[in-house]
Every structure is written in structure tokens, then in C-alpha cells.
Amino acid sequence: MQLSSFMQSLGLKYPLFQGGMAWVADGKLAAAVSNAGGLGIIGGGNAPGEAVAAEIKTASSLTDRPFGVNVMLLSPHVDEVVAEVLKAKDKIAVVTTGAGNPAKYLEQFRAANIKVIPVVGSVALARMMERSGVDAVIAEGMESGGHIGRLTTMTLVPQVVDAVKIPVIAAGGIGDGRGMAAAFMLGAQGVQMGTRFLVAEESKVHPTYKKAVLKAKDIDTMVTGDYAGHPSRVIKNPMAREYIKFEKAEAAKDHPNYEALAELGNGSLRKAVLTGDPKKGAYMAGEISGMIKKEQTAAEIVHEVCGQAEQLLGGGH
């Protein structure tokens, strides 16, 4: 597969990122994706610096290839996490960021030769990030699993491509080589996939949660947290239904108690990943779940998706 000069500069064989999913994307999963030629990304989430450092150490022991870390800028531990990333600068090619502006850390990352790639859900945010001096953006559509924006990948990616000069990576609803090829047609230089890697053999996601992804049909995801302004895509389960019921009841009140709602959602992804409990766990996953039918190794996923895209593109890209 022919890579853009930006993707080549990251040292990748394939322009495929594995999303840095909180609680899910640990050093083992990231290393497996990087060993297959993609970019594995450790999900920093709200974890303290030492926990992220341990995952960086695991990934470093399992791969000699570059990998990345997703830094959640709203995490109370963000400064510690950034410090740990900078300590491992020889291994870490990329930092992706969610929820916030990475401007404060850009100079340090640049000096460490780490590329900074924020996730954006709108043209305005993409432009703002470009002005801040980031290296590329991940344009993520609302088909995706986890926290989402308002636009679809099909509409967002070409508009962001037209609006900025830096490279654009497409995310949200990409589950196979057809999706990857389509993203290139929209002007993206690479793709990021999350949901498909949830069910990778190397993923630590609880078997009950994995089974829910594998069994899901096209219409089996829903969006929670919309009223409170933090929409999140999850697979329908008792926890999601309970949350929506509570959310709708609060929204109908003059003074909605969104704090109580946040309390209900607190730690729900962690519970899903570690215990699989459908009553307490948020099975975050994207609309692409309906296409995912089997557990495979990360290498099988990377090779299958990129092989199919290459075939469809006739050797281009």
C-alpha cells in the first residue's frame, strides 16, 4: 500500500490507526496493531501517569515498531501522563488527543519529535487545531463508538479536508477495506478504527461485552448523554435503557439534575470492560458493530482491512 509522506514519516506500513480507547486499548493491544504494520494507540483515559507508563512499558517490550498514546486533556492526571509520554519519546510516534486543546503541550511534543493529532468533530474545531500548530487531525463522525459529535463521517471528512492543509485521518463507521477505500476517496490519508478492535483477540474487553458487539445488528446502538451535551454511542443494553429513561425524565424538568445523571454514567465503561455487567456497564461501540461477526487477532484485522482496501483501490494509495 502506498502511503502519503505524512504516514511514511510515522514509520507505518499501513495508514491504519487503532483508536486509543479508554480502558480498552492497553499496551498489549497497541503493540499487536503496531507489529502488524498499523499504529497501535494506548488509551490514556483518566488513568494516572504511572498506569499509562506501565502500558507504555508493556508496549515497548512487545514491539520495536512505533506506537501512540491517546491523551485525554480533561483528565485530572493529564500533566503526569504527558510527562510519561515525553520520557518514552523514542518509542512514541504520535499523541492523539480528545476533549480539549493540546496547544499548551505542543512545543514539548514537537521538541520530542512526537506528532500531535487531535480528534475533531467539526470544521471549526479542525481549523482551530490547525492554527494551534498540530500535525494532522482525526475527523471522527458520529457513527463511531464512544463520545461522538454531530456530523457523519461521510459529510465531515471531505469538509475538513477542504478546510485545512494538514493531513486528515478519517474515523467513525470504518470497519473493513471498503470503508477504508471510501475514506481515501473523501480525501483522508489514513483511517482510525475503534469498534473493530474491541473484539480483537488481544483486546481485554470482557467476553460478554465482546459478544454483544458480535451479535449486534445495524440498529442495535443508541446515543446516551445527548441532553446533557455529552453524547456517547453504546450498544443497547439494560444500562443504556436505564440511562435514557433517567435522562429523558430529567430533561423534562425545569431544573434537570444532570449531576445525578453523570453519577449514573461514572465508571460505566470501566465496568463494561472489566466485568461485562449489562446492568452497570456501558458497552460503547459504533454502528459498524453490525458488520463485525468474529473475533480475530489484531494482525488478521489489519491485514484483512488493508488488503481489501488495496484491492479496491487497485494498488493506489
Ligand X SMILES: Cc1cc2nc3c(=O)[nH]c(=O)nc-3n(C[C@H](O)[C@H](O)[C@H](O)COP(=O)(O)O)c2cc1C
CB of 238 to ligand X, least distance (A): 18
Residues in the chain: 317
CB of 218 to ligand X, least distance (A): 13
22 is an interface residue for ligand X by CB under 6 A: yes
195 is an interface residue for ligand X by CB under 6 A: yes
Distance CA 4, CA 69 (A): 21
CB of 136 to ligand X, least distance (A): 14
* Contact set for ligand X, span 56-95 (CB under 6 A): 70, 72
193 is an interface residue for ligand X by CB under 6 A: yes
**How many angstroms from the chain centroid is the CA of residue 203?**
14
x-or-dash string of contact with ligand X, 215-254, rule CB under 6 A: ----------------------------------------
Q: Give, in order, the Cα–Cα distances in Å from 45 to each of 51, 104, 130.
A: 10, 18, 24
CB of 26 to ligand X, least distance (A): 12
Cβ proximity of 37 and 18 under 8 Å: no
Q: Which set of grid coordinates corresponds to residue 140? A: 471522527
Distance CA 231, CA 141 (A): 12
Q: Which stretch binds ligand X (CB under 6 A): 75-83, 101-109, 139-147, 306-314?
A: 139-147
Cβ proximity of 195 and 292 under 8 Å: yes
Q: Which stretch binds ligand X (CB under 6 A): 125-133, 144-152, 242-250, 293-301?
A: 144-152
Cβ proximity of 21 and 193 under 8 Å: no
CB of 78 to ligand X, least distance (A): 13
45 is an interface residue for ligand X by CB under 6 A: yes
Q: Which stretch binds ligand X (CB under 6 A): 14-22, 61-69, 156-164, 301-309?
A: 14-22
Distance CA 122, CA 148 (A): 11
284 is an interface residue for ligand X by CB under 6 A: yes
In angstroms, how far apart are the furthest CA atoms of the chain?
A: 58
288 is an interface residue for ligand X by CB under 6 A: yes
Q: Which is nearer to ligand X, 146 or 225 (CB)?
A: 146
Q: Which is nearer to ligand X, 231 or 256 (CB)?
A: 231
Binder of ligand X out of 34, 63, 144, 268 (CB under 6 A): 144
Binding region for ligand X (CB under 6 A): 19-22, 24, 43, 45, 70, 72, 96, 98, 119, 140, 143-146, 171-174, 192-195, 198, 284-286, 288
